């Protein structure tokens, strides 16, 4: 492990985002340290995806400060993007690819959507190893369009792990998975987490019940502001969820997961 456990990977201080006079985020404080796993939750439109875009270096804050690896926000966002893996449920361009799944995973190493040169042997071996870890090794010769949604999501995790990121981020990754597919995906994610202790993760979802049990921290957003932040069990409470989601929520706990029931 090259990074000390206390090292800050992302440090947002009083971050605000305004788009065309509309406040999307206000006064957001959020930091992630090496190896920490954070869920970002909140209703639709509360600003989760926007916050993730700041963390991933795709958007600069309109106010406040965003630092990465202890450098301030003048740091090259290109470099920030390279050290962050991103998995979302939207993969349109890759789906049309005629390349094999193995090539798609390998291309993640270069931050490109396709390969233009024969990659070095070690790079291909790494891709195969990651695919085996995630239980999708046997698909390497297929096209992405020939896989189920759940299998595709695993390929995308393998792909995003190729550059050896310090942070892996997910935006509603289970949005189009059925129940079984979702559980398989979450298992794959757990395997990756257990094999990479220093890897930090951020998992964005509006669905509380899919937050993997290995996530120990949560940030709850409401209307672009942080409503609560810290230890999962302190943030994901009936009181907090009822206020943020504006319905009466009771929580059932099962195997380190939280299942909200609405009356």
Ligand X SMILES: Nc1ncnc2c1ncn2[C@@H]1O[C@H](COP(=O)(O)OP(=O)(O)O)[C@@H](O)[C@H]1O
Q: Under the criterion CB under 6 A, does residue 48 sit at the interface with ligand X?
A: yes
- Among ligand X, Mg ion, none, partner that 35 touches (CB below 5 to 8 angstroms by kind): none
Q: Under the criterion CB under 6 A, does residue 44 sit at the interface with ligand X?
A: yes
Q: Under the criterion CB under 6 A, does residue 84 sit at the interface with ligand X?
A: no
Q: How far is the CB of 86 from Mg ion (least distance, A)?
A: 13
Which three-class secondary structure state does DSSP give residue 212? coil
Kind and range of the H or E element at 49? helix 48-55
For residue 175, with 0-12 CB atoms within 10 Å meaning exposed, 13-18 middle and 19 or more buried, which class applies? Answer: middle
Choose one: 40-48, 63-71, 144-152, 185-193; the region binding ligand X (CB under 6 A). Answer: 40-48
Q: Which of 9, 10, 15, 50 is in the footprint of ligand X by CB under 6 A?
A: 50
Q: Which of 5, 45, 234, 261 is in the footprint of ligand X by CB under 6 A?
A: 45
Residue with tokens 């796993």: 37
Q: Under the criterion CB under 5 A, does residue 88 sit at the interface with Mg ion?
A: no
**Residues pairing with 225 in the sheet:** 222
Q: How far is the CB of 49 from Mg ion (least distance, A)?
A: 3
Q: How far is the CB of 97 from ligand X (least distance, A)?
A: 26
Residue with smaller CB distance to ligand X, 4 or 22: 22
Number of residues that bind ligand X (CB under 6 A): 11
For residue 231, with 0-12 CB atoms within 10 Å meaning exposed, 13-18 middle and 19 or more buried, which class applies? Answer: exposed
Residue with tokens 């999307």: 24
Length, in residues, of the chain = 263
Q: How far is the CB of 25 from Mg ion (least distance, A)?
A: 13
Applying the rule CB under 5 A, the residues between 27 and 56 that interact with Mg ion are 48-49
Which three-class secondary structure state does DSSP give residue 183? helix
User: Contact 38/218 with Cβ under 8 angstroms?
Assistant: yes
Q: Under the criterion CB under 6 A, does residue 165 sit at the interface with ligand X?
A: no
User: Contact 220/235 with Cβ under 8 angstroms?
Assistant: yes
Phi, psi (rounded to 5 degrees) for 232: -50, -50
- Among ligand X, Mg ion, none, partner that 45 touches (CB below 5 to 8 angstroms by kind): ligand X
Q: In what order do the strands lie in the sheet with 22-33?
A: 22-33, 8-19, 63-68
Q: Which of 34, 46, 196, 240 is in the footprint of ligand X by CB under 6 A?
A: 46
Residues that bind Mg ion (CB under 5 A): 48-49
Residues at the interface with ligand X (CB under 6 A)? 19, 22, 24, 42, 44-50
């Amino acid at each position: 492990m090259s990074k000390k456990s206390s090292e800050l990977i992302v440090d947002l201080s009083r971050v605000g985002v305004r788009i065309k006079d509309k406040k999307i985020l206000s006064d957001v404080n959020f930091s992630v340290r090496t190896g920490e796993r954070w869920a970002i939750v909140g209703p639709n439109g509360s600003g989760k995806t926007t916050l993730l875009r700041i963390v991933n270096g795709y958007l600069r804050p309109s106010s406040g400060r965003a630092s990465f690896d202890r450098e301030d926000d003048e740091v090259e966002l290109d470099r920030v993007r390279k050290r962050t893996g991103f998995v979302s449920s939207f993969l349109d361009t890759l789906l049309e690819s005629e390349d094999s799944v193995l090539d798609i995973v390998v291309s993640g190493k270069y931050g490109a959507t396709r390969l233009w040169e024969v990659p070095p042997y070690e790079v291909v071996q790494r891709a195969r190893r990651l695919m085996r870890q995630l239980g999708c090794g046997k698909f390497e010769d297929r096209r992405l369009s020939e896989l189920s949604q759940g299998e595709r999501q695993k390929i995308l995790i393998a792909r995003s792990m190729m550059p050896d990121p310090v942070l892996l981020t997910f935006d509603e990754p289970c949005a189009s998975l059925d129940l079984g597919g979702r559980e398989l995906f979450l298992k794959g994610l757990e395997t990756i987490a257990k094999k990479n202790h220093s890897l930090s993760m951020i998992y964005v979802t509006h669905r509380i019940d899919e937050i993997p049990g290995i996530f120990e921290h949560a940030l709850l957003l409401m209307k672009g502001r942080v409503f609560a932040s810290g230890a999962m069990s302190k943030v994901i409470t009936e009181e907090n969820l009822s206020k943020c989601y504006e319905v009466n929520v009771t929580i059932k706990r099962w195997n380190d997961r939280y299942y909200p029931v609405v009356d």
